[in-house]
Structure 1
């Protein structure tokens, strides 16, 4: 096998992530012919097609899948080795990839982006779904940081406590459960909105019935009731909007409900059968303990 230069490995990594020559070229700031030429060199060096053209995009071969993780880890380690000891936000030229669910995208990402544009104009942020297993995202360097419910993960993954989110039951102000102060037990289970994630399998480490919804959007914390709800949605903002205009009720995060509560669209029920709090964490890989840039990003998120 001929020697490979770093640029070829960067092209391979981009193709693995985007599954498209066009998107890889855009991501790397190269022309499409340059990426195609690099792919041809990679194929000769590896004596393998590496990617096969399919209608849905480039499909990696078994050999490509085999080396992808090692290539990504090597690139991440190389970048870390060259990174300056001190991170200066105002002078930094770096891209951070943050894995976040709609819950975090709604509550934190707008403020984060606004702050970064002011204090670190050379820093780019990529927000990706957190539906894929967080360990895989962090092991492969596909994400620098994940926001999610605290969980039990391998020792190489750091779970840094952030805050606790309280789950609350909400209803419209004219809902009988509010006007007649009915107990929750009196509510038809079919009138309780079920919130389920729209993404892939739950993150590892969650108990059954908690992980999927906490991962996706901190929606209805409990498992599906014995009597199925007639309404199922995949994120909690939709549930809040439905509750405001119907006789339905839902359990959502207090932070997601807060704007609607402030407007008077919904009210928080004070008759609860259990108090549910979900610990939220910043999740990142232990190999990045010395990464001053990531430390700055985590501190920035904490200060929002």
Structure 2
């Protein structure tokens, strides 16, 4: 008997659940099976592929390197089976299930309101989870299928992921209407030395992308406050005599004044990215098409 005759779709779904959950009990619960049944199927999978696939650790499983590679192919196979059994035309109104988006604080403010409005209107049975963008966990979350789409900046995304550019953005220097810097015509050196607030959502520190721009002019910023998200910075600006560099689309409608600069910071892209295993997924392609037409 060939190995292909010893495999069935159920076993592939069990492998997929084990890979994503890293736990036999969680995989069993997800699939409506007993833990013993999952263990028996895992034993068969190990025999078919001649690999342990998952190694035990104190709180679950860790996949072997072979299982990491196999997971991409298994996901594609299962997706192909799903397409085979699905209607030939994709109808958003009939789609149900869940779609998970990891987005930066900026993307949650600027990109997602319009996208979620469209999704709710055109696909009312689809449930949407928006989660904070975790740069250190992104690959793990997307590899395991716990995140379908990421919306962020190019530097935050692994080079191997497919991406689509949504639009171009730039930083502007802003302050509250009462800030003393607005009473002068500041040089770039004055701006660098002025108390500054940064948003550092990925890692709490006193450094941001604008620091590299200032460095080109031999200047170092006087960063005095580091906030965990863009949305809170305007509130801090209105209670302190300070400035901040914020994306231009994130400050629309806020009571802030732009500080005129001698030079403008470089523009940057805002992108959407996904794991290669979802390249042919109909729902994924549809959501991305919505973003491209925004």
Number of equivalenced pairs: 274
- C-alpha offsets along residues 224-263 of structure 1, whole Å, 9 cap, x if unaligned? 9746523222322222221121112111111222242xxx
**Structure 1 residue 98, shift from structure 2 partner:** 3.0
| 1:84-123 alignment, distance < 5 Å | 84-123=87-126
For 1:153 and 1:53, the matched residues in 2 are separated by 27
Change (3 A) 1:18 1:113: farther
User: Which residue of 2 is the match for residue 39 of structure 1?
Assistant: 38
TM-score by length of structure 1 reads 0.71
Instruction: Indicate the larger mover: 248-257 or 221-230.
Output: 221-230
Change (3 A) 1:14 1:291: closer
Q: Of 200, 208, 211, which aligns to 1:222?
A: 211
**Structure 1 residue 15, shift from structure 2 partner:** 3.7
Contact 1:177 1:184 in 2 (8 A): no
Is 2:288 aligned against 1:294?
no
Change (3 A) 1:41 1:286: closer
Aligned-residue Cα RMSD (Å) equals 3.7
Change (3 A) 1:232 1:36: same
User: Which residue of 1 is the match for residue 54 of structure 2?
Assistant: 50
Change (3 A) 1:231 1:68: same
SS at match of 1:229: strand
Contact 1:20 1:58 in 2 (8 A): yes
For 1:296 and 1:21, the matched residues in 2 are separated by 33
User: Which residue of 2 is the match for residue 172 of structure 1?
Assistant: 176
For 1:241 and 1:35, the matched residues in 2 are separated by 52
SS at match of 2:128: strand
Structure 1: tracts of 5 or more residues without a match? 201-212, 214-218
SS at match of 2:245: strand
User: Which residue of 1 is the match for residue 66 of structure 2?
Assistant: 66
User: Which residue of 2 is the match for residue 206 of structure 1?
Assistant: none
User: Which residue of 2 is the match for residue 7 of structure 1?
Assistant: 10
**Structure 1 residue 126, shift from structure 2 partner:** 4.0
**Structure 1 residue 186, shift from structure 2 partner:** 1.8
- C-alpha offsets along residues 62-116 of structure 1, whole Å, 9 cap, x if unaligned? x3x5303412432234214532442111112354343322221232334433332
Structure 2: tracts of 5 or more residues without a match? none
User: Which residue of 1 is the match for residue 247 of structure 2?
Assistant: 253
Change (3 A) 1:303 1:14: same
User: Which residue of 2 is the match for residue 161 of structure 1?
Assistant: 165
